[in-house]
Structure 1
Amino acid sequence: MKNISGSLRFGGLPGIGWLLGVGMAFAQPAPTPGIPLAINDLSAFKSPASNWRIAGNARADLAKANTIAADKGTGVLVNVPVPPKGGQTQYGQQFNLLTNLEHGDIDLELDYMMAKGSNSGVYLQGRYEVQLFDSWDVKSPRVVDNGSIYERWDDKRPDGQKGYEGHPARQNASRAPGLWQHLKISFQAPRFNAQGQKTENARMIRVELNGVTIHEDVELTGPTRAAAFEDEKASGPLMLQGDHGAVAFRNIRYVNYDKPRPELLNLKYAIYKGKYEKEPEYDKTAPESEGPTTVLSSSVSKIPNEFLIRYTGTLRVAEPGEYRFNLGVPGGGGLLKINNQQVIAPGEWNATGKTTLPKGDLPFELLYAKFVDWVQPGLGLAVAGPGVREFVISDKNGGEGETVDPILVETPTNTLLRSFMDLPGVSDAKGKTIRVTHGISVGSPTQVHYTYDLDKGAIVQVWRGQFLDATPMWHDRGDGSSRPMGMVQRMGTPLLFLTRLASPLTNWLADTTGSGFRPRGYVLDSEDRPTFRYESHGASVEDKIRVLNEGQGLQREVTIANAPADLYARLASGVTINAMENGMYLIDGEQYVRVDDLGGAKPTVRTVGNRQELIVPVKGKVVYSILF
């Protein structure tokens, strides 16, 4: 036996993503960071009004409505509301900001900050609005709330029906006013024929707010209310609303998709019966069937298992550059070659590869070897490249195999769940993602939740929105872990909440060695809310965590009996910790810590390596709030 590229072997075990039925990555294209929109001055915008200015940073006070302070510098775009005229608030398109950039299909990514009670919006093509709003304390989003797709409007319709076709965000993934929020949008422009007639409506393919998907494949039949234009076109500028409230923007990046897609031509297939772990000698092996086809699909084979499909043909590339490919071949293995170069090597059921392609008609070859009998066959191939958004070039129903219904935990009442908890973005000394092995997640009907590390007496993450996806924990054999479903704020590397320090400069203990830490479980109050108990450094500790009014965060009350004189509590850590007024601290621009009652002790912000910590000597009680 011989093969084309040495000792090729198909197959490999499926990854956990496959087992959980999430399908292929191409099923929901995610925005990709691209070209930055310069914010060194206002030259990227058309005729900016005086309410817009360039700053080095922006700050908003939780207690001051519709107010943003701007620091000197560049890189941040700030809208300061126009003062009322004649006692009336001024509205109008002249206060909005339109880019010189014109776009059709686009991926957009940006950070923004809302002032208390503020209102703004991002309009794709100046026509279709994703709402920006201070929705901090909202439980069930409406079309006016943060991240929602705003409604259309028609004054000719009856009262109560003038607004229509709005799309509320799936859940409230908002942060508090004054904190930076992150928005990602994948937008598809409307399509028109040669006569200028619309043939397809615009779509929000995907919208993410603070890491949470809040919209998928939403069709837009026309411009939303207060758009800059009433008509629809193939391209238009971005618009940032500036006549409704104080808001700041930074890190605006985009990818314009304006190049023609690659095409598959002259496709032929050949099907070989048998269990192939490497390629056959095609000139010595007769196929079961063969012929021309117009689409890549596993359905050309009528054999349910143990077969090899070989596709050959031409890939026509109109735009040269680097292309990425995503191949799904459940129950076996696959191989992709383009221009006589191997792009995806045999291996896992889901595999990716990239290559630089010239313009022209290029040889194309794809193999799918199927030999795992308990998996349905499927074949999916997606392509993305310069100016080309990722799209499925194969049969759109192929490559995703059998799906699994997710196992979701809701919180109609206060709810506790023990599980492993991975902390993406939080790594150990070897760069491996930290897994909390004795975590307990506590959910509330107010949709504010947290995970507590029973091994360290530490809050490791807080989040707003839906509670837990327990699919990886309970499906099939499971791996014991669950995942938060809302807007997550992680607290960094889990460390003991309490430790003894010879001085305020002593390093915090990295583990429980020498601490005498002993968990003592928890007790539930009449509303099933836990108070955790443990011993540490000879002290007895009760740790009570409760949701604040209107779901604005959590208050933590830690009572310590028999505390040694040199015992300290660690309230927060981050790259930057900035002291504010009234006992407030801003942590990395992403959360607030409010000091409520420290028994007369004074907190200290100290620098350890390249990070900062907010610590306080223990005087019997530590009460503080996490606002996010």
Structure 2
Amino acid sequence: MLLVSGSILGIYSDHLFPDVISFYLPMIRFQWFLFLFLMPGLPVSAQSSEVPSSVLNLQSFNEFTPTGRNWKLAGDVFYDLNKAGKGSLKPGTGILVNDLSGKSNGHIITKMEHGDIELDLDFMMDKGSNAGVYLQGRYEIQLFDSWGVKNPTSADCGAIYERWDDSRPEGRKGYEGHAPAQNVSKAPGLWQHLTVVFRAPRFNPAGTKIQNARFEKVMLNGVTIHENIDVTGPTRAAAFQDEQPTGPLMIQGDHGPVAIRNIRYKAYGTEPATLTNLKLSAYEGKFKSPADLSSMTPRREMAIDVLAHLAPGNKDNFGGKITGLLHLPKSGQYLISLNFAWIPAETNPANPNGAGELTIGGKTIGVDGRNGGTASAIVNLEAGDHPVVLTYYKNFGLWYARSNDITLAVEGPGVAYTALAAPVRVEDPVGAITLQTEGEPIMQRGFVNHRGRKHTHTISVGEPGAANYTVDLQKGELLQIWRGGFLETTPMWYGRGETQLSVPLGSVIELSGKPSLAVMTDQHSAWPDSNATYNNLGYDVDPAGRPVFKYTLGSVNVRESFEPEDGGRKLAHRFIVTSTGQAPGEIWCRVAEGRDITELPNGLYAINDKQYFIELPTNQKPVIRSTARNTKELLLPVKGKDNGGVVTYSIVW
């Protein structure tokens, strides 16, 4: 029996009291009409370029010291989701695999030695398996099959593993381990991504350690799980028990099967890039371009020690020219990034509130203000000092972009990403406003960014098993799934709600964002980007508190629902389709789209290079076909009496 009917307003929270909604609804509608009118297209700033990483070549073992025969190279690897030790390899290179089927179980160690480093790699776990990545061969990030673990410990995937001291009392021999902030581990047999920003220990000229090693940031599957964690010494089972300025990368080989690929890194030195001798020439008035300042006399000139418009006077109608000296420790390609805080990503391109440009090394990096306040470029620069000129203006203020700070950042050979001469600000004391599931599903409506575009009529559903998802109610599209925490709603509810975005707290998989059902002439018809006959009828809420979405496609009635399975490890997706008349074609369900779709030996379908799995009911055979976009689609027919039927499948990740 269905108990509650939900209307679709798209931008309001299901948690607001009805009397509050009814009182404020006219004002809310007007404010959002005005906001959307002023922000046509809602553009998003383009992503910046990147300084290329060094790549650890996995076409041979030349990058490693001699090791045991348990380490092999493969072109592909399969680990069974349900059965440990049933993996298989395909010939080839590019994937480093620990195969413990023989007698050898040695670790593998790189010839490359590092100090400060940013490390990226993909890994895949066998069911129940255990391994580890050791920075400098001494400090371990744990790799483990932690799929579905509710309360992770320092032994789970992504943990900074514990140190060990046999002289300590029983039960306390292990110490200083750090569990991940949340468990966002994927299923065995899926590729996962690890990013580690590591600062090596520091030593004085006499060789005495003066600063501990530090994990500045660890990210698992796109989610930050550690920040600024000091490690006082080597963790358990390290290759070396001393501490040094540099050491090799080591992958543990004596615990369980693991596959590694795409090992990339940026190694950094200890000499920083600096920006000094800063001088500000300040102007006041309205401007059309940074070039306008060149013919004007400044109102005042002053020395400054941080990068911001610090001149007294008008804070919304000003211009400035800052000169300074950039010191770089090494020659090479540098990524220079520029951002003006008063120009947000979402701005009116017909009336930008500012612009600016930076000149360095004979190259100009410009921000025209029509597409946000950010720009970047890669510039070849020699070691030493380089004059810089930064010119900018601001014509009016925005209530949600009040700061007049400027960010100029540099990254390059031996230099980690560094914000130069950045001002230190006391942050607004507001904490994050979050929604977490506690024993029952929770629903939240709001705006969601999906593939660079803002969707304004969405509902996100959080499940106690951490299998969360977002549906676009306006178009009937499944946008994303994620594992881990539910939502941060600070951008919706703090102050005036700047962007109105609800932001997933876990590890997100963005789906294609197209209709799940369509009426087609036959299975060879192109899948539509949208359904012209889609008519949203709202949603009911079932006794468990989950929404059941209702809509029509012409004469076809649809009830669509989701339900977690296996403790949240899987998400079942179900359609009940009935027809009130003869549909003008066949009804199909588009289960998945990806660069590739592969049927695995265990009957699952791997999507997007093993990003996630699709599990179909027994004996259900899909259609897998190519698209004009050079992708693959997995389709299921909706079969039944009078063009109706039921379709069910599960997403596994």
State the TM bucket, normalised to the shorter chain.
0.7 to 0.9
Question: 2:422 & 2:604 partners in 1: Cα distance?
Answer: 55
Question: Residue 520 of structure 2 aligns with which residue?
Answer: 501
TM-superposed deviation, 1:229: 0.8
1:206 aligns with 2:223: no
Q: 1:167 to 1:372 in 2, by over 3 A?
A: farther
8 Å CA contact 1:48, 1:97 repeated in 2: yes
Q: 1:359 to 1:245 in 2, by over 3 A?
A: same
Question: Residue 143 of structure 2 aligns with which residue?
Answer: 132
Deviations 1:390-428 (A, max 9, x none): 123314516x9768644322222311122333222xxxx
Q: 1:269 to 1:489 in 2, by over 3 A?
A: closer
User: Residues 196-595 of structure 1: matches in 2 within 5 Å?
Assistant: 196-258=207-269, 260-264=271-275, 267=277, 269=279, 272=282, 274=284, 277=287, 287=300, 290=302, 295-298=305-308, 305=315, 311-331=322-342, 336-339=358-361, 342-343=364-365, 351-366=375-390, 375=402, 377-395=404-422, 397=424, 405-412=431-438, 413-424=440-451, 433-475=452-494, 476-495=496-515, 497-513=516-532, 516-562=533-579, 566-581=586-601, 583-588=603-608, 589-595=610-616
Question: 1:354 & 1:83 partners in 2: Cα distance?
Answer: 48
Question: 2:151 & 2:545 partners in 1: Cα distance?
Answer: 23
Question: 2:518 & 2:241 partners in 1: Cα distance?
Answer: 62
TM-superposed deviation, 1:244: 0.8
TM-superposed deviation, 1:510: 3.1
8 Å CA contact 2:282, 2:311 repeated in 1: no
Q: 1:480 to 1:324 in 2, by over 3 A?
A: same
Instruction: Give the letter for the 1:318 counterpart.
Output: P
8 Å CA contact 1:309, 1:367 repeated in 2: yes
Instruction: Give the letter for the 1:220 counterpart.
Output: V
Between the aligned residues of both structures, percent identity stands at 39
1:112 aligns with 2:112: no
TM-superposed deviation, 1:603: 2.3
Unaligned runs of 5+ in 2: 1-37, 40-46, 343-353, 640-644
Q: 1:207 to 1:601 in 2, by over 3 A?
A: closer
Among 133, 150, 154, the residue aligned to 1:122: 133
Question: Residue 27 of structure 2 aligns with which residue?
Answer: none
8 Å CA contact 1:601, 1:618 repeated in 2: no
Question: 2:632 & 2:341 partners in 1: Cα distance?
Answer: 47
TM-superposed deviation, 1:81: 1.8
8 Å CA contact 1:420, 1:435 repeated in 2: yes
Question: Residue 62 of structure 1 aligns with which residue?
Answer: 81
Question: 2:95 & 2:195 partners in 1: Cα distance?
Answer: 18
Question: 1:391 & 1:96 partners in 2: Cα distance?
Answer: 35
Question: 1:252 & 1:189 partners in 2: Cα distance?
Answer: 19
Q: 1:349 to 1:607 in 2, by over 3 A?
A: closer
Q: 1:491 to 1:403 in 2, by over 3 A?
A: same
Instruction: Give the letter for the 1:362 counterpart.
Output: H
8 Å CA contact 2:98, 2:257 repeated in 1: yes
Question: Residue 141 of structure 1 aligns with which residue?
Answer: 152
8 Å CA contact 2:51, 2:378 repeated in 1: no
8 Å CA contact 1:135, 1:146 repeated in 2: yes
**TM-score with structure 2 setting the length:** 0.80
**2:616 is paired with a residue of what secondary structure?**
strand
> Aligned Cα RMSD in Å?
3.4
**2:617 is paired with a residue of what secondary structure?**
strand
Question: 2:527 & 2:389 partners in 1: Cα distance?
Answer: 57
TM-superposed deviation, 1:123: 0.9
Question: 1:502 & 1:361 partners in 2: Cα distance?
Answer: 67
Question: Residue 12 of structure 1 aligns with which residue?
Answer: none
TM-superposed deviation, 1:501: 3.3
1:603 aligns with 2:622: yes
TM-superposed deviation, 1:125: 0.7
**1:550 is paired with a residue of what secondary structure?**
helix
Question: 2:185 & 2:158 partners in 1: Cα distance?
Answer: 8
Instruction: Give the letter for the 1:485 counterpart.
Output: L
1:615 aligns with 2:632: no
TM-superposed deviation, 1:507: 2.1
TM-superposed deviation, 1:625: 1.0
Question: Residue 175 of structure 2 aligns with which residue?
Answer: 164
Deviations 1:456-480 (A, max 9, x none): 5443321101112333434425444
Question: 1:365 & 1:561 partners in 2: Cα distance?
Answer: 67
TM-superposed deviation, 1:227: 1.0
Instruction: Give the letter for the 2:547 counterpart.
Output: P
Among 185, 199, 203, the residue aligned to 1:188: 199
Question: Residue 20 of structure 1 aligns with which residue?
Answer: none
Question: Residue 44 of structure 2 aligns with which residue?
Answer: none
1:44 aligns with 2:91: no
8 Å CA contact 2:70, 2:102 repeated in 1: no
**TM-score with structure 1 setting the length:** 0.82
Deviations 1:147-179 (A, max 9, x none): 111111212222222222222112122111101
Question: 1:325 & 1:404 partners in 2: Cα distance?
Answer: 31
TM-superposed deviation, 1:454: 2.9
Question: 1:80 & 1:258 partners in 2: Cα distance?
Answer: 35
Deviations 1:500-557 (A, max 9, x none): 33332222233223xx433332222222112222333533332231011222121123
Aligned length: 578
Q: 1:180 to 1:104 in 2, by over 3 A?
A: same
Q: 1:492 to 1:282 in 2, by over 3 A?
A: closer
Q: 1:341 to 1:532 in 2, by over 3 A?
A: closer
8 Å CA contact 1:340, 1:364 repeated in 2: no
Question: 1:561 & 1:350 partners in 2: Cα distance?
Answer: 50
Question: Residue 97 of structure 1 aligns with which residue?
Answer: 108
Q: 1:340 to 1:519 in 2, by over 3 A?
A: closer
**1:461 is paired with a residue of what secondary structure?**
strand
TM-superposed deviation, 1:238: 0.4
TM-superposed deviation, 1:40: 0.9
Question: Residue 18 of structure 2 aligns with which residue?
Answer: none
8 Å CA contact 1:42, 1:48 repeated in 2: no
TM-superposed deviation, 1:372: 6.2
Question: 1:371 & 1:501 partners in 2: Cα distance?
Answer: 53
Higher deviation after alignment, 541-550 or 468-477: 468-477
**1:140 is paired with a residue of what secondary structure?**
coil
Q: 1:601 to 1:123 in 2, by over 3 A?
A: closer
**1:243 is paired with a residue of what secondary structure?**
coil
